[in-house]
Amino acid sequence: MYVPDEWEVPREKMTMCRELGQGSFGMVYEGIAKCVVKGDMETQVAIKTVNESASMRERIEFLNEASVMKEFNCHHVVRLLGVVSQGQPTLVIMELMTRGDLKSYLRSLRPDAENNPGQPPPTLKKMTQMAGEIADGMSYLNANKFVHRDLAARNCMVAEDYTVKIGDFGMTRDIYETDYYRKGGKGLLPVRWMSPESLKDGVFTTNSDVWSFGVVLWEIATLAEQPYQGMSNEQVLRFVMEGGLLERQESCPDSLFELMRLSWQYNPKMRPSFTEIIQSIKVDLEPCFKEVAYFYSEECKSRDQEEFDMETENMESVPLDPSSMLQHAASAADKHSGHKVENGPGIVLRGSFDERQPYTHMNGGRKNEKVLPLPQSTAC
């Protein structure tokens, strides 16, 4: 059952203007909504619909996926604005991201792209800005006990002012169906963005989201090339589980690749948290970032202090040399608390995930429940 709440919007306040593309459940439109944003008479929005042929169960699933986003209030996460659950078709109203998903936007910046907007490829400063914005959205989700499980350029969105935000999850799942792989008859898995522990054991944590973030950085640096180009999905599975990593491209700046490398530590507890990633690059971010970012909010500061107080008694150095990692892994695996160690200027490595903490996944579920399976898809 879906019970209408304060997010319900009268259907007569919605006007659909043009198609934006196909979503997981149905067509997505650009439209105009009246009085859905405080202080605005009319707001340009994205309107998600459900196919007319959808069953009641699919309509409820559609609304429940949207309901997860009711808990989010972060500048770098795409906002849910309202729901029309009464009558047909069922509608979900989202913040409009006029420049589309990040993967398509990056590909449009290739010199030979037919839809090139006349812009050069992103500079290091712009790539770093994208990284900071994505990390800020993910830091917010992590702080609210949400695990994304499908972080990729296709699932980030680009606003009119080029701000990058964590996208409306599930919206591009079927559009980019070739980015997913059906393993053993189960749901579709984004194997090229998955960490070794996720591939091996089906474990998804904020640390595995950090691994995926590293792959997103690689996508940004390569203008959205396919990760592990030339390898089959099965080959990628084996390669990553055995410790293989994406290669550095010649055009990739040193600082960006270093951030990727840190995100791809084989031991999940050795990866930096999203907050630590922002800490390491904050001096290179635009001044406006400080005005809107969760990282600089009072909520973030108070939460960081609470975590620091809890961890102070359990600090321990973590070896950064891969050759010594195996010796450390045995003892690290037995500890639930995180560890801190300096790794050059501005970078702090810490395992921020406590396996006993209940987490919610972006693509379904509620807080305080166990790990949920990835959603099924109609794509083959």
Query: Annotated catalytic, 5?
Result: no
Residue 120, preceding peptide bond in cis (omega within 30° of 0): no
- Whole-angstrom Cα distance, residue 88 to residue 36? 19
Residue pair 133/195 in contact (Cβ under 8 Å)? The answer is no
Residue 95 has which token pair?
Answer: 């913040």
Strand ranges (DSSP E) for the chain? 14-22, 27-34, 42-49, 80-84, 91-95, 146-147, 156-158, 164-166, 181-182, 188-189, 340-342, 348-350, 360-361
CA geometry: angle 250, 255, 260, nearest 5 deg:
80
- Whole-angstrom Cα distance, residue 316 to residue 65? 40
Which DSSP string do the residues of 162-197 spell out, in sequence order? --EEE--TTTTTTTTGGG-EE-TTSSEE-GGG--HH
The catalytically annotated residue of 150, 168, 179, 209 is 150
Q: Quick count: other Cβ atoms within 10 Å of Cβ 172?
A: 28
Q: What positions carry a catalytic annotation?
A: 150
